[in-house]
Structure 1
Amino acid sequence: MTTSTTLPPPVTGPDAGPATSPKSNLAARIAGWSARHRRAAVLGWLLFVVAATVLGSAIGTVEAKNSEYGHGDSRRADEIIAAAGFPDRATEMVLIESDSLVADDSAFRAAVTATTTAVERTGRVENVRSGAVSADRHAQLVTFDLAGPAEDADERVGPVRDAVAAVQRDHPGLYVAQTGGASIGEAIGKTLDADMHRLSMLSIPVTLGILIVAFGALLAAVLPMGLALTAFLGSLGLLAVASRFAPAVDTTMHLMLLMGLAVGVDYCLFYLRREREERDRGADPERALAIAAATSGRSVLISALTVIIAMSGMFLTQDATFISLATGTILVVATAAVGSLTVLPAVLSKLGDRIDLGRVPGLYRRQSSGRFWRTIMNAVLRRPRFSAVLAGALLLVLALPLLGMRTAEEDITALKNPAPALSAFVRVQQAFPGGAEPAVVAIRADDVTTPALTAAIDELRTRAVATGQLHEPVTVEVNPDRTVAVVRVGLSGSGVDATSEQAVRTLREQIVPRTVQGVDGAEVRVTGLAADSVDFNAALGRSVPLVFGFVLGLAFLLMLVSFRSLVVAVTAIVLNLLSVAAAYGLLVLVFQHGWGETLLDFESVGSVTNWVPLFLFVILFGLSMDYHVFILSRIREGHDRGWPNKLAVSRGIRGTAGVITSAAVVMVAVFALFTTGTVVSMKELGFGLAVAVLIDATIVRAVLLPSVMVLLGHRNWYLPRWLGWLPRLSHGEPPAGELTDGGLPAGAPYRGEPVGTGPTY
C-alpha cells in the first residue's frame, strides 16, 4: 500500500462512459431548467401543494368498505351480505359478569334489567336482547343495535356507553361493561389520533435535530424538512383523487407521513452533501450544483423509480390494504422526488453559500474528514474474503427465525389500551368462546325460510356445537326478502389464532358440506375475522411469488440499464435480499416469540400481522436500493475515471459514508418512533423498517458490499456482448456551465477529486 499524489488517467475506449451532457442526464436537464427559472419552479411547487391540499379537502378521501377487504370465500360471503339489504347497523353488547353470582340470582337479574332499561332510555338503540348466558352461568350478554348507519356509529356510541357506565356504578359487586365494533372503534380511533399527533410532534423535531447535527447549519437543516413536509401534504391531496380508483385504508396516511419524512429528507441530503463536497473542492456554487444535479440528482431519480417499482408489485395482490398502502407510498415518494429534482435546485441556485446560514458552533463543517470510515474501509479491504464471510454469516444467522414465521390478522386484544371496551371484549371471549369474533355463514337461496333450509340450519347448529371447536351463541338472521340468511357461530380461540383458524376449517370442510350446502339451490360461504385470516394467507401464498418476481425482475433490469453490468445487478439483488431476510428474522424473534414485549410494550399473540411481511419486503427493497444506487454511482465514477478497483470502491464508500450515515440515522429515528405507538402492526412496521435500514447501512454497505466488490475485481463491470446495445449513462460530473443558458465563468479553478488523501491499492 502506497500513498499516491496522482491518479491514473481516465479510461478510454469502449468501456469508458461518455461525458455527461444535458441530453444524456435527465436530472441535470431538469435542474438546469429549474435554476434558470427559479421563480417558476418555486411558485409552481407551492401552487401544486396548495391546490392538491385544497382539492383533497374538498372531495375527501374514499375509504375502503368492509366488503372490499377480503379474499376467496370470505369476500364472496361479505358481498352476499352487503347486497342482501340487511339494515345498516352496528351491534353492541354489554357483558354482565360475577365471580360468585349466577344468572338466576336476583342481584344478577337486577343488573341485567337495569342495563336493558338504561340503554333503551337513551333513545339511540333498537332490537335489545338479553338471552345469551355463559356455560358456567356467571356471565350474560345484553345485545342491541345502535340506531342509524353503522359507518359513523362510533361517533354516536358515547351516550349509550355513559348509560352503561352508570349501571356499573350502581352495581359495584358485578362487572358491567360495553363492547362492540362502535365502542372499540371509538376507543381505538382516539388512541390512534393521539398516537399520530404525538408521533408527528416528535418526528419533526427529532429529524430536525439530526439534520442540524449533520449539517451544522440551521437553514441547511430546515430545507430538507420543508421539502419532506410539503411533499407529504401534496401527496395527501393526490391520495384523495386516487382513492376514487383505489379506496384508502386507515393506515395509509400514517405510512405516508413516515415515508415522506424518510425519503424527502434522504433526497435532500444526497443533493446538499454532494453540493457541499464540490464547493469544498473548489467548484463555484453553480458548478457544484451542476455536479450535484448530474450525480446525486440522477441517484435520486433511479432510487425513486426503484421504490415505485417495488411498491407497484403490491397491486398484483389484488388486496385492498396492499393496494392502498402501495398507492399512498408511490404518491409520496414520487412527489418527494419531483420536488428534489425541481424546487430544490432552484432554491439552492438562489441561496448559493447562504444555505449555510445559522451555523452552529462546533457542528459546522462542509465536509467530514472521513477518518472513521477510512479506518473501516482499510480493515475490510485488507481482508475482504474474511469480511465477506463474516458479514454474510451474521446476516444468515439473523435470518434463521424467518423459517418459522406465522402470520395472522391483527388481534385487538394485544393493544395496550385501558379502554373498558377492549377489556370487555377480552372478557366476552373468555366467557363466550368465539362470541365476540364469531364465524359468519352466509346462505343465499331463492327462499332461505323453506323447511329444507330451516332444518339444515338447525342441523348446522347441532353439528357445530358437537365438535367442541364451535360454540354457542349461534344466531340466525334473515334479510327482508328472505333470500339470505346469516348464521353466526362462536369459535374456539381468540378469533385470530391457530385454534380459531382450525375451527373455521372444520366448519367449512365438515359441517357446512353435510348440512346447508347440501340443499339444492343454496350458495353457502363462510366469513368472519378468522375466515378472513385463512383466506388472506391463502391468497398471499398465491401472490407472493408474483410480487417477488415482479419486484426483483424490474429492479434487476433497472440496475442493469443504470450501471451496464450484469454482476452489479445480480449483486444488488442478493445483498438486498440478505438485509430484508435478516430484518424478517428479527421481526419474528421480537413480535412472534415475544423477545421485545417489555421494551416495546406489547403482548405477543404468537404471530406477525399478516400484511406486514410482504409490505416490508417491497418497501425495504426500495429503500435498500436507495443507498445502493447512491454508493454504486460514486464507485462507478471512479471506475470511469480509470481508478484501480480497490481505490474506486474505497473512495466510493468513504465519499458517500457521511450521507448514508446521516440518511440512515434519520430513517432509523423516524421509523423507530412508530414502535412507541399502540397498534401492534405499526410497531412491527416501524421496528422492521428501522432494523433493516440499520443493518443495510452498516453490515451490508460498510462491510459486505465493499468486500464483495473487491473480491470480484474487474468482473464487477461485466456485460455480455449481446447486451452491448444498452444505453450508456454517465456517472461523472457535467460540463461547466450546464445549469446556465450560455455558461458562466468558472470562478475559482475546480480541483476535482482530491489526491493524496487516502490509500491507493
Structure 2
Amino acid sequence: MKGNIAARVGMWSARHRRTAIIGWLLFVALTAGIGGAVGTVNMSTSEMGAGDSARADRILEDAGLDRPAGELVLVAAGREGGWRQAAAELADVVERTGAVADIPPPVPSADGREALVSLEITGDADTAPDRVGPVLDAVRAVDRRHEDIELHQFGSASSQKWVNDLLADDLLKAELTAVPLALGILLVAFGAVVAALLPVGLALTACLAAFGALSLISHQLALSPTTNSVMFLMGLAVGVDYCLFYLRRERDERAAGRDADTALRIAAATSGRAVLVSGVTVMVAMAGMFLSGLMLFEGFAVATITVVLIAMTGSVTVLPALLASLGDRVEAGRIPFLGRPRGKRANAPARSGRESGAVAGAVLRPVLARPRLFAALGAVVLLALAAPATGMRTEQLGWQKQFGADNRIAVAHERITDAFPGGPEPARAVVRADDIDAAPVRDALAGFDKDDVTVHPRHNIAEIEIKLAGDGTGQRSVDALTKLRTKTLPAAFDTTGAEVRVTGELARSVDFNEQLQDGIVPVFVFITAVTFLLMLFCFRSYVIAVTSIVLNLLSVGAAYGVMVAVFQHGWGASLLATEKVGAVQSWLPLFVLVVLFGLSMDYHVFVVSRIREARDRGATTRDAIREGVCRTAGAVTGAAAIMVAVFAVFGTLSMQDMKQMGVGLGVAVLLDATVVRMVLLPSVMALLGERNWHTPRALRRLPAPGSH
C-alpha cells in the first residue's frame, strides 16, 4: 500500500482523528459562514444566453441601459368598457406603493372588453423581484374588490419572484424528503442508527460547505438560480455513496475476523482508492461542460465539481477518523428485525448485505453459464428503451409547459398573449451605430412605429420593440423571428453600417438551443476520451476502458429514451405523476450525458476494482467476476437505492425540468445498477475472459495500481 494515496490519507486520519474531525468541522463552518455572509451573485441576462441575443443584451448592459423591470396587468371585463373603473383604481393603488414609475393610460383590446396596464418597477431590474411584492399585493387587492373583473399580472419581476420562491420551496422539500429517504435506506442496509447516520451526516456537511464555497465562487463566475438544486442533488447522492462504499468494506473486513486497525487499512486501500478514482472521474467528466460554450453549464460544472471534491475529501479523511474513534460503537442503535441473529459477531455485516450477495449469486449463475445470451438480452433491453430517443425534440419550455397550464403565472401569460398577441414577450432589436443620428440610421428607424423606438443618443444605441406573430413561443413566432433577423432588419439597415442584434425571450431560447447543438459534440468527445484514459490508467486495460464507455453510452441512451417516451410522448406519464409536454428541456440532454458518465463510474470502479482484486489473488476470470459482483452487491444496491430515491424526489418537484432530470437520472441509475452491473458487465467480461486484463505495452513499465 506504499503507493496508495487513499491508504496513506486514511491511516493518517485514523492516527490523528481529533485533528481530522475538528479540521473538517472548522472547514464546513468557515466555508458556510463566509459564503453566507458574502451572498451569491446570479447571472445577468447576457451571461445566461448565447449568440445574437446575448450580444444584444451585452450591448445594453455595457452601456448601462438595462431596461426597468416591466409588468403587464390585464384587466378583463365581461362587457365592452367594463374595465375602466378597475383600471383607474388599479393605477391609483399601485402608484401609492411608490414602487412604480408613471403609469401610461391603459391600452384596450380589439373587442374593448379587456385592457392592458403597463407598469415599470423603479430601480435596478436585477433586484426588482425583491421589491415587486407591494405591487403584487396591490393588484390582488383590486382583484378581490371587483367580483365581475379579472386581473392577471405577468412581468419579469413578478415571474422571477415567483420562480425564486418556488425554487426555494422545492429545494426545502427536496431536503426534507430526500434526507429521511436516504437515512431509511441506510438503516435497512446497516441495521444500526450510528452506521446509517455517518454517510448522511457527511453528505449534508459536504453540501453545506459546497453551498458556502459556491457563494464565494459566484463572485468570479455568476451562477444560475437552479445551480444550488443541481449541486444538492449531486452532493447528497455521491456523498452518501462514497461513505457507504467505504463503510461497507470496513465492516466486511471486520466480519472476516480482522482487527479494527487492519480492517480500516484495507478499506482505505481498496474502497478509499475506488472513491478517489470515482470522484476524479466524475469531476473530470463534469469539466466537459466547460466546452459547451454556455455559462449556465459552466456554473453547473463548477457546482458539481466543488461538491464532489468536498464529498470525496470528507470520505477519505474524516470518515476513517470517525470510524477509528467510534470503534464498535458504530454498531450502536441496532434496529429490531434488521439486526443480526443472536450469536453472530457484533461486527458482522448486516443481513441485507448477505441477502444482496445471495440474490446477486442467484442472478449470476445463469448469466455466467450463458454469457452470450444474457449479453444480447441486456443490450436488446437497453437499446429498446433507447429507441424513442431517435425522435427527441428539445426546447426551452415555456411557462405553461414548465409549470402546468393551470399555474397562475402560466394563465396570466396565456390570457395576456391571447388578448394582445406578442405583448408579454416581444422581440427587441438593438441598433448600435457610430452616429445614431446619422441620416441613413434615422431613415431606417423611421420605418418602424415611433412608439416602438427608443433612441439613446449619448450611447449611439436605439431599441426597437417588435411584436411577433403567434403566441411568442411557438413555431409561428420562431418563423417570424427568423424572418425578422434574416430579411426585415437586414433590408432596413443595409446601408447604414449599424450593428443590429435581436434579443427577447424567444430569441434567447432559439440561440440557446443552437449553441447546445453545437456544444454537445465537443463535450461528448471530451468525456469519452477522458473516461477512456482514466480507466486505462486505473486498470491498465484498454478492454475495460472501452467496455466502460460502451456500457455508459447504453445507460445514457436508455435514459434519453425514457425521457422522450414519458415527457415528449406521454407514455406512462400519469404513473409518474407528471404530464406530456411534447419536448425535453433543451439543457437536459447534455447535462444528463455528463452526469451519467460521471455517476456510472461510482458503480463501475467499485465493482471492477473488487473483481480485479480477486483476479490478482489468483482466481479465474469467472470466479473473480462472481466474487467481485457478489461482494459488492450490498453496497451497490444500497447506493443505487439512495440515488434513485434522491432523483425520484426531484421528479416530484414543481418545475418540469426538475421532473425530467429526476426521472431521467433515476431510471438510468436503476438500469445501471441492475441490467448493466448484474447482467451486461459480468456477461461481457465473461465472454472476453483473459482479454479483460490485456495491458498496453506502454503501461507495462508503470507500477501496478496501489489498490490490490
* TM-score in terms of structure 2 length: 0.94
Task: Go from structure 1 to structure 2 and tell me whether the alpha carbon gap of 1:458 and 1:480 turns closer, same or farther (over 3 Å shift).
Answer: closer
What is the aligned partner in structure 2 of residue 26 from structure 1? 5
What is the aligned partner in structure 1 of residue 422 from structure 2? 434
CA distance in 2, matches of 1:451, 1:115: 42
What is the aligned partner in structure 1 of residue 369 from structure 2? 382
CA distance in 2, matches of 1:236, 1:614: 24
Q: Note if contact 1:491-1:503 (Cα within 8 Å) is conserved in structure 2.
A: yes
Answering whether residue 36 of structure 2 is matched by residue 57 of structure 1, we say: yes
Q: Deviation of residue 596 (structure 1)?
A: 4.7
SS state at 1:518 partner: coil
1:457 aligned residue (434, 445, 448): 445
1:363 aligned residue (338, 342, 363): 338
Kindly provide the amino acid, as one letter, of the partner of residue 281 in structure 1. A
CA distance in 1, matches of 2:374, 2:688: 14
SS state at 2:337 partner: coil
Q: Note if contact 2:426-2:467 (Cα within 8 Å) is conserved in structure 1.
A: yes
- Please list, as runs of the form range in 1=range in 2, the aligned pairs for 1:308-323 lying within 5 A after superposition: 308-323=283-298
CA distance in 1, matches of 2:162, 2:420: 22
- Please list, as runs of the form range in 1=range in 2, the aligned pairs for 1:246-325 lying within 5 A after superposition: 246-325=221-300
Give the percent of matched residue pairs that are identical in Structure 1 and Structure 2.
49
CA distance in 2, matches of 1:260, 1:301: 15
Q: Deviation of residue 722 (structure 1)?
A: 3.8
Kindly provide the amino acid, as one letter, of the partner of residue 431 in structure 2. I
What is the aligned partner in structure 2 of residue 38 from structure 1? 17
1:271-321: per-residue Cα shift (whole Å, max 9, x none)? 111111111111111111111111100100000001000100111123111
Task: Go from structure 1 to structure 2 and tell me whether the alpha carbon gap of 1:455 and 1:170 turns closer, same or farther (over 3 Å shift).
Answer: farther
What is the aligned partner in structure 2 of residue 405 from structure 1? 392
Kindly provide the amino acid, as one letter, of the partner of residue 651 in structure 2. T
- The 10-residue stretch of structure 1 (530-539 or 690-699) with the greater mean CA deviation from structure 2: 530-539
CA distance in 1, matches of 2:83, 2:334: 71
What is the aligned partner in structure 2 of residue 675 from structure 1? 651
CA distance in 2, matches of 1:431, 1:499: 17
- Please list, as runs of the form range in 1=range in 2, the aligned pairs for 1:684-723 lying within 5 A after superposition: 684-723=660-699
Kindly provide the amino acid, as one letter, of the partner of residue 192 in structure 2. A
Kindly provide the amino acid, as one letter, of the partner of residue 565 in structure 1. S
Task: Go from structure 1 to structure 2 and tell me whether the alpha carbon gap of 1:141 and 1:596 turns closer, same or farther (over 3 Å shift).
Answer: farther
- Which runs of 5 or more residues in structure 2 are unaligned? 341-347
1:94 aligned residue (44, 66, 73): 73
1:566 aligned residue (533, 538, 542): 542
Q: Deviation of residue 174 (structure 1)?
A: 2.8
Kindly provide the amino acid, as one letter, of the partner of residue 55 in structure 2. R
Kindly provide the amino acid, as one letter, of the partner of residue 562 in structure 1. C
1:700-750: per-residue Cα shift (whole Å, max 9, x none)? 001000000001111111223244234411432xxxxxxxxxxxxxxxxxx
Q: Deviation of residue 192 (structure 1)?
A: 2.0
- The 10-residue stretch of structure 1 (216-225 or 166-175) with the greater mean CA deviation from structure 2: 166-175
Q: Note if contact 1:409-1:529 (Cα within 8 Å) is conserved in structure 2.
A: no
- The 10-residue stretch of structure 1 (314-323 or 414-423) with the greater mean CA deviation from structure 2: 414-423
CA distance in 2, matches of 1:296, 1:434: 58
Q: Note if contact 1:477-1:485 (Cα within 8 Å) is conserved in structure 2.
A: yes
1:445 aligned residue (416, 433, 444): 433
Q: Deviation of residue 578 (structure 1)?
A: 0.5
Answering whether residue 204 of structure 2 is matched by residue 226 of structure 1, we say: no
1:650 aligned residue (618, 622, 626): 626
Q: Deviation of residue 327 (structure 1)?
A: 0.4
SS state at 2:40 partner: coil
Q: Note if contact 2:392-2:583 (Cα within 8 Å) is conserved in structure 1.
A: yes
Q: Deviation of residue 428 (structure 1)?
A: 1.0
CA distance in 1, matches of 2:272, 2:104: 65
Q: Note if contact 2:422-2:467 (Cα within 8 Å) is conserved in structure 1.
A: yes
1:597-633: per-residue Cα shift (whole Å, max 9, x none)? 4344555442211111111111111000110000000
* TM-score in terms of structure 1 length: 0.88
Answering whether residue 127 of structure 2 is matched by residue 152 of structure 1, we say: yes
Greater length-normalized contact order (CA 8 Å, ≥ 6 residues apart): 1
- Please list, as runs of the form range in 1=range in 2, the aligned pairs for 1:130-169 lying within 5 A after superposition: 130=105, 132-169=107-144
- Please list, as runs of the form range in 1=range in 2, the aligned pairs for 1:720-731 lying within 5 A after superposition: 720-731=696-707
Structure number, greater radius of gyration: 1
What is the aligned partner in structure 1 of residue 308 from structure 2? 333
CA distance in 1, matches of 2:511, 2:5: 45
SS state at 1:125 partner: coil
Q: Deviation of residue 158 (structure 1)?
A: 2.2
CA distance in 1, matches of 2:363, 2:445: 71
CA distance in 2, matches of 1:504, 1:525: 12
CA distance in 2, matches of 1:637, 1:493: 63
1:82 aligned residue (45, 51, 61): 61
Q: Note if contact 1:85-1:480 (Cα within 8 Å) is conserved in structure 2.
A: no
1:194 aligned residue (169, 183, 202): 169
Kindly provide the amino acid, as one letter, of the partner of residue 64 in structure 1. M
Give the total of aligned pairs: 695
- The 10-residue stretch of structure 1 (142-151 or 662-671) with the greater mean CA deviation from structure 2: 142-151
Task: Go from structure 1 to structure 2 and tell me whether the alpha carbon gap of 1:542 and 1:423 turns closer, same or farther (over 3 Å shift).
Answer: same
Answering whether residue 465 of structure 2 is matched by residue 488 of structure 1, we say: yes
CA distance in 1, matches of 2:453, 2:572: 43
Q: Note if contact 1:449-1:482 (Cα within 8 Å) is conserved in structure 2.
A: no
Q: Deviation of residue 506 (structure 1)?
A: 1.4
Q: Note if contact 1:561-1:727 (Cα within 8 Å) is conserved in structure 2.
A: no
SS state at 2:152 partner: strand
1:577 aligned residue (537, 540, 553): 553
- Please list, as runs of the form range in 1=range in 2, the aligned pairs for 1:508-587 lying within 5 A after superposition: 508-515=485-492, 517-587=493-563
Q: Deviation of residue 137 (structure 1)?
A: 4.2
Q: Deviation of residue 413 (structure 1)?
A: 2.1
CA distance in 2, matches of 1:669, 1:639: 34
Q: Note if contact 2:558-2:668 (Cα within 8 Å) is conserved in structure 1.
A: yes
Kindly provide the amino acid, as one letter, of the partner of residue 249 in structure 2. R
Kindly provide the amino acid, as one letter, of the partner of residue 412 in structure 2. A
Q: Which structure shows the higher helix fraction?
A: 2
Kindly provide the amino acid, as one letter, of the partner of residue 20 in structure 2. A
- Please list, as runs of the form range in 1=range in 2, the aligned pairs for 1:624-635 lying within 5 A after superposition: 624-635=600-611
SS state at 2:447 partner: helix
Q: Deviation of residue 461 (structure 1)?
A: 6.1
CA distance in 1, matches of 2:141, 2:337: 61
Task: Go from structure 1 to structure 2 and tell me whether the alpha carbon gap of 1:458 and 1:608 turns closer, same or farther (over 3 Å shift).
Answer: farther
Q: Note if contact 1:179-1:421 (Cα within 8 Å) is conserved in structure 2.
A: yes
CA distance in 2, matches of 1:417, 1:197: 24
Q: Note if contact 2:610-2:628 (Cα within 8 Å) is conserved in structure 1.
A: yes
SS state at 2:233 partner: helix
CA RMSD in angstroms comes to 2.0
- Which runs of 5 or more residues in structure 1 are unaligned? 1-20, 463-473, 733-761
Q: Deviation of residue 88 (structure 1)?
A: 5.0
What is the aligned partner in structure 2 of residue 204 from structure 1? 179
CA distance in 1, matches of 2:26, 2:474: 50
Q: Deviation of residue 181 (structure 1)?
A: 1.2
Task: Go from structure 1 to structure 2 and tell me whether the alpha carbon gap of 1:492 and 1:397 turns closer, same or farther (over 3 Å shift).
Answer: farther
- Please list, as runs of the form range in 1=range in 2, the aligned pairs for 1:179-190 lying within 5 A after superposition: 179-190=154-165
CA distance in 1, matches of 2:642, 2:76: 50
Q: Note if contact 1:408-1:497 (Cα within 8 Å) is conserved in structure 2.
A: no
- The 10-residue stretch of structure 1 (667-676 or 352-361) with the greater mean CA deviation from structure 2: 352-361
Task: Go from structure 1 to structure 2 and tell me whether the alpha carbon gap of 1:658 and 1:242 turns closer, same or farther (over 3 Å shift).
Answer: same
CA distance in 2, matches of 1:594, 1:292: 46
Q: Deviation of residue 381 (structure 1)?
A: 1.2
